[in-house]
Amino acid sequence: MSDGSPKNILPRIVDPRRFCQQGVVLRGYVPVGELSRLTENKVVVDRVIAELAFAVDQQRERVVTGSLSVDAQMECQRCLEPMPLSVSCDVGLAVVWDEESSRELAGAYDPWIVASEETDLYTMIEEEILLNLPYVSYHDYSCGQPTVEDKPEEDGGSEKQNPFQMLQQLKDKMKQ
Ligand SMILES: [Zn+2]
């Protein structure tokens, strides 16, 4: 599990435009205690590793590309027990000053609005993770929920649909 893990901590406060000018490449981890928004979303983060390359592209956009990899635990929405989860995602951002300039982006990049020189890199990483977490999460075995066979047909309704199944279907649709 831990092979190849970077040992250096990513800087929290960065000057992304300067990094782009200088072609900085960051590889490291985020101290898990720093990710409060994930905690608020009931995600217990075990490990966050990021590899981010800052550059100026051919359109003179200041861009950040790379990847994030997250090991975490979410609450299973069926049995409410912790469920391990690994998420990897690509990052493709262009550093912009405001909403207005974010609309002028060519489309290959998502805007990273940085209104001053320096910004909080962890906030950006956290947002990217939140965007890439599954909408709902379940153990991949049948946990904590009686199967249909186990249940006596007490209320005679065959029409019952599990709301979680509907969410799962919705999520599957969104993935396509
Ligand atoms: Zn479960």
H helices within the chain, ranges in order?
16-22, 36-40, 99-103, 121-132, 163-175
Residue 148: both structure tokens together: 């249909």
Domain count across the chain = 1
Q: Is 68 within a domain? A: yes
pLDDT, tens digit (0-9, with 9 covering 90-100), for 5-18: 778 999 999 999 99
Query: Which pTM was predicted?
Result: 0.75
Give residues with Cβ within 8 angstroms of 61, minimum separation 6. 94, 95, 105, 106, 109
Rounded CA-CA distance 125/133 in Å is 12
Give the Å distance between the CA of 142 and the centre of ligand 1: 7
Give the Å distance between the CA of 140 and the centre of ligand 1: 8
pLDDT, tens digit (0-9, with 9 covering 90-100), for 97-140: 998 888 888 778 999 999 999 999 999 999 999 999 888 888 98
Give the Å distance between the CA of 85 and the centre of ligand 1: 12
Q: Is 150 within a domain? A: no
Q: Which structural domain, as residue segments, surrounds residue 118?
A: 13-145+155-175
Q: Is 22 within a domain? A: yes
Give the Å distance between the CA of 79 and the centre of ligand 1: 4
pLDDT, tens digit (0-9, with 9 covering 90-100), for 15-55: 999 999 999 999 999 988 888 888 888 888 999 999 999 99
**Residue 2 banded pLDDT, cuts 50, 70, 90:** very low
